[in-house]
């Protein structure tokens, strides 16, 4: 079965509202009418409203980069799924390795987040991936098994295909050290096999992205791999022409 490629740019803590609008003004003529690739920008909370407004009517979707798992409460500085839904985001990225590492995001919280995002009718991107030390110690599959099975634990089998899983090896993030095609393919195929343990149909439909030093120059090769259905892009997604080059690499 053919899966629609999904290319998302994760801006991380970059871009004021003014910079975000400048980016969208640059991207719309390059990719605003692409209909054979799902395209998203993952935007800091402060620029979400502006980017939702400036991408309206185009094929560019807006995702948030984090959400709290509680519906509301005394969690200073956090936002809920309902708050983001009100802004009309299309989805939310959760479990990024930077959030796991610096903000103690746990698999236990992620299973709640993923289920709540789906319950609100939004799309989750669940990030998973091993560290350099874990790969060296041959623990990659063990790490992915825990992160994927825990993260999806509260998702009903019939909803699994609505989740996108981003495989981002930590050693490839922001380092310029991209995974080899074989490493990316093997990990993404393994992730798909974990979904197949729950539902063969869902495994056929679910999208698995690769992330980590994706650039216009390497996008076509990575995105052409059988089990890689898209990319989650950091640094190379901050410039409209560069991001559009990666989107182009995802087109058949
Ligand atoms: P880079 O593309 O900058 O390596 O970042 C990848 C990433 O973390 C996307 O979420």
Question: What is the percent of the chain with per-residue pLDDT over 70, rounded to a whole number?
Answer: 100
For residue range 85-117, list pLDDT tens digits in order: 999 999 999 999 999 999 999 999 999 999 999
Residue 209: the pLDDT is 98
Name every protein residue with a CB atom under 6 angstroms from any ligand 1 atom: 10, 96, 168, 173-174, 211-214, 232-236
The number of the ligand 1 atom at minimal distance from the alpha carbon of 174 is 4
CA-CA-CA-CA dihedral for 192, 196, 201, 204, to nearest 10: 20
Q: How confident is the model at residue 179 (pLDDT cuts 50, 70, 90)?
A: very high
Residue 1: the pLDDT is 56
Of 209, 207, 110, nearest to 162 (Cα)? 207
Q: How confident is the model at residue 2 (pLDDT cuts 50, 70, 90)?
A: confident
For residue range 9-43, list pLDDT tens digits in order: 999 999 999 999 999 999 999 998 999 999 999 99
Mean pLDDT of the chain: 97
Query: Where in the chain are the domains?
Result: 6-251
Catalytic residues: 96, 168
How far, in Å, is the centroid of ligand 1 from the Cα of 235?
A: 6
The number of the ligand 1 atom at minimal distance from the alpha carbon of 212 is 4
For residue range 189-246, list pLDDT tens digits in order: 999 999 999 999 999 999 999 999 999 999 999 999 999 999 999 999 999 999 999 9
Domain at 6-251: CATH code: 3.20.20.70
Q: How confident is the model at residue 182 (pLDDT cuts 50, 70, 90)?
A: very high
Model pTM score: 0.98
Q: How confident is the model at residue 252 (pLDDT cuts 50, 70, 90)?
A: confident
């Amino acid at each position: 079965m053919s899966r629609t490629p999904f290319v998302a740019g994760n801006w991380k803590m970059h871009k004021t509202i003014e910079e975000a609008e400048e980016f969208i003004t640059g991207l719309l003529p390059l990719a605003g009418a692409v209909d054979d690739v799902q395209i998203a920008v993952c935007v800091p909370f402060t620029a979400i409203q502006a980017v939702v407004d400036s991408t309206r009517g185009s094929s560019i979707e807006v995702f948030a980069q984090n959400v709290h798992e509680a519906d509301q409460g005394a969690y200073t500085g956090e936002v809920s799924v309902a708050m983001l839904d009100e802004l009309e985001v299309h989805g939310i990225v959760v479990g990024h390795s930077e959030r796991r590492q610096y903000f103690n995001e746990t698999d236990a919280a992620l299973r709640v987040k993923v289920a709540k995002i789906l319950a609100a009718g939004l799309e989750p991107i669940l990030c998973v991936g091993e560290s350099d030390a874990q790969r060296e110690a041959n623990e990659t599959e063990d790490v992915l098994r825990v992160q994927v099975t825990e993260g999806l634990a509260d998702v009903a089998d019939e909803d699994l295909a609505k989740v996108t899983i981003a495989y981002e090896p930590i050693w490839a993030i922001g380092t310029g050290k991209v995974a080899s095609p074989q490493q990316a393919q093997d990990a993404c195929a393994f992730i798909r096999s974990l979904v197949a343990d729950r539902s063969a149909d869902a495994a056929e439909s679910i999208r698995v992205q690769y992330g980590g030093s994706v650039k216009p120059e390497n996008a076509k090769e990575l995105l052409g791999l059988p089990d890689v259905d898209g990319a989650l892009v950091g640094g190379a997604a901050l410039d409209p022409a560069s991001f559009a080059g990666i989107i182009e690499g995802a087109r058949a």
